[in-house]
Chains A and B, each alone.
Chain A
Amino acid sequence: MLDILYDIFSSLGKNKLRTFLTGFSMAWGVFMLILLLGCGNGLKNAVTLNFEDRAKNILTMWPGRTTKPYEGLKTGRYIKLDDEAIAIIREMPEVGIIAPVRQVYNTTKTYGAEYVQSGLNGVTPERFKLMKMDIVEGRTLNSMDMAQKRKVILMHKKNARNLFKDQEAIGRYVNINIVPYKVVGIFTDSNDSQSPNDFIPLSTLEMIYPTAYGYSSLTIEINGINSIAACDKFEKELRERLGEELQFDSEDTSAVWIWNSMSDYMQTMNIFNGISMFLWLIGLGTLIAGVVGISNIMLVTVKERTKEFGIRKSLGAKPGNIIRLILSESLAITASFGYFGLLAGILVIEGLAKLFPTPPPDAAENSPSAFVNPEISIWIALGAMAILIIAGLAAAYVPAKKAVEVKPIEALHYE
């Protein structure tokens, strides 16, 4: 083993420039592959991050007005999403948690002399299971708040700051239309609004603001759906069932507005998987160019060394000895230079990751980034290494075969 290594290095060392140039094309190929894949991950991470504050398998629906007549009923009717609608939706096997929301617009929230004008969302604790929420302080609303119709409020950080300034907000009371609510938690999100809505228990809101209208929106968890087609099919079936019961045309998309985050997410992911594939293709292409370069140079090298191989044969080298010699030389070049390329690629990716880190969740003022935390998984790196080794062997195989096929006497007389 040591002898083979020694043999390799003495013959590679003899042609330093050629060895370097060959190796460089390999290193460059691997470097580009790693860089491209890492940047592809950067793009993908950015998108994933932008999707992060919502569960990926949810569907939200809002009531609307009909724009098509239905069985003799005229257009322009309001559709009500109430507990009857929830019961229909719950019958569908794919449906998991349902989180209804009731909104009250434009309330005045006061603390001392300070006030904020914004809406109130009445929600059930399920809301917090479906949509991730970044709690800065305190807690979310729980089932006890819901059951006891507690007058508690989960406030947006902006509103809390406007009302309480630098004082501790948790535990203080904010008045909303003369009713005091105890602040139990502060949350934040990337909402651009200057005065976002705050959250109180749905039961509390229904008690204080009784209304005949239905819910403002329903958010539904869907399970076991993993393709855009299945998503669309589910949405269509949902419309048909609701249309039958609530009396609207299932083709009438204005009757109930549906936003399907799942198909949205999948479409985006499909695009980015496509980009990833494309980057792989380019990276592999660069790598293959490197391999072809090595193969070419190995061919020349082997031809130049025909006489040497003839001498080795006359001294008793078997065909296997010669093939092993050539293959291991090629392997030494590809593996060592490829490793440098790999290392350089990872270093650059790590550098980029420092420049474009994952932003803190509180980055409300930041615009959504397009490039976040590029990275290379250990498996991709190992895969690239494996490709390198296979490439090194493949590049040398044809030249090695050729070297062996020359008859010793012809090889000896080769000049």
Chain B
Amino acid sequence: MIRLENIHKTYTGGTSLHVLKGINLNIEDGEFLSIMGASGSGKSTLLNILGLLDNYDEGAYYLDDVLIKNLSEIQAADYRNKLIGFVFQSFNLINYKNALENVALPLYYQGIGRRQRNQIALEYLDKMGMKDWATHLPSEMSGGQKQRVAIARALATKPRVILADEPTGALDSKTSVEVMNILQRVNREDGITVIMVTHAPEMAAFTDRTIHIKDGIIDSENDNNKF
């Protein structure tokens, strides 16, 4: 599903910062992968590159066997819309739109009509147990509820990959487990590849495989299912 070959990334601006120093990684279709590492190790940068939110300087990135390099913003937006769903630590819901509108937004950018959009959005909210909250604004919800809406939004376009950047970072431990269970279900039942960045080992334990990044390279990896 995803193949990274010798990915390098340097941030220029003031002092240049060589963040990724040759990442090689294969991620199978339907895999649940976690990326761990200390802050500043480059794990978020890697996720951003995977999500086409940032570009890389060197190497090659194949997403669904397509080389992703020097994409125009229009092409990138198209791939993000069709292949990738994002789940963020801070949820990133649009605060003046209600839950239903937030979930329907990526469908709007696919050009799907209003009625069908709302129907699909409601279906995914229902899946997340948030149907009764459809007309509520994000400010009226708890963190866990917001994250469920965000996951519903990520799933609405039936993406191939879900990219989750510290999805439980802002949640208490009980809610975190709930969210992890949802992500696990999404991975197992819908067969969607899930890649999650986290610094909490107990969250990484929910995934199939964990890679550890240290100073811009993959330091080690372990298969969680072996235990």
Give every chain B residue within 8 A of A408 (Cβ-Cβ). 53-54, 76
Give every chain A residue within 8 A of B86 (Cβ-Cβ). 314-315
Partner of A316 from the list B94, B96, B109 (CB cut-off 8 Å) is: B109
Contact A317 B77 (CB under 8 A): yes
Q: How far is the CB of A313 from chain B (nearest CB, A)?
A: 6
Within 8 A of B (CB), among A6-23: 10-11, 13-14
Question: A308 in the interface, Cβ–Cβ < 8 Å?
Answer: yes
Contact A314 B114 (CB under 8 A): no
Question: B189 in the interface, Cβ–Cβ < 8 Å?
Answer: no
Contact B54 A313 (CB under 8 A): no
Contact B96 A318 (CB under 8 A): no
Contact B73 A409 (CB under 8 A): no
Within 8 A of A (CB), among B71-129: 73-74, 76-78, 80-82, 86, 88, 92-94, 96-97, 101, 105-106, 108-110, 114
Within 8 A of B (CB), among A260-303: none
Prevailing SS type, chain B contact patch: helix
Give every chain B residue within 8 A of A314 (Cβ-Cβ). 51, 53, 80, 86, 92
Contact B114 A315 (CB under 8 A): no
Question: A319 in the interface, Cβ–Cβ < 8 Å?
Answer: yes
Question: B175 in the interface, Cβ–Cβ < 8 Å?
Answer: no
Contact A316 B53 (CB under 8 A): no
For chain B, the count of residues having a C-beta within 8 Å of the partner chain is 28
- In the complex, residue of chain B having the shortest beta-carbon distance to the beta carbon of A320: B74
Give every chain B residue within 8 A of A317 (Cβ-Cβ). 77, 109
Contact B96 A315 (CB under 8 A): no
Contact A316 B114 (CB under 8 A): no
User: A-facing mask of B50-74, CB < 8 A → 1, else 0?
Assistant: 0101100000000000000000011
Contact B96 A14 (CB under 8 A): yes
Contact A311 B53 (CB under 8 A): no
Give every chain A residue within 8 A of B82 (Cβ-Cβ). 316
Known A2-B114, A11-B96; contact A315-B153, beta-carbon cutoff 8 A: yes
- In the complex, residue of chain B having the shortest beta-carbon distance to the beta carbon of A314: B86
For the complex, give the distance between the alpha carbons of A409 and B51 in Å: 10
Contact B92 A316 (CB under 8 A): no
Partner of B54 from the list A2, A308, A404, A407 (CB cut-off 8 Å) is: A407
Question: B48 in the interface, Cβ–Cβ < 8 Å?
Answer: yes
For the complex, give the distance between the alpha carbons of A77 and B8 in Å: 109
Give every chain B residue within 8 A of A149 (Cβ-Cβ). none
Question: A166 in the interface, Cβ–Cβ < 8 Å?
Answer: no
Residue among B53, B80, B86 having the largest count of chain A Cβ atoms under 10 Å: B53
Contact B48 A316 (CB under 8 A): no
Contact A412 B92 (CB under 8 A): yes
Q: How far is the CB of A397 from chain B (nearest CB, A)?
A: 18
| 4 closest residue pairs by CB, A with B | A316-B81, A315-B106, A316-B109, A409-B53
18 contacts between A and B (CB under 8 A): A2-B114, A3-B108, A10-B97, A14-B96, A311-B92, A312-B94, A312-B109, A315-B86, A315-B106, A315-B109, A316-B80, A316-B106, A316-B110, A316-B157, A318-B109, A320-B74, A407-B54, A408-B76
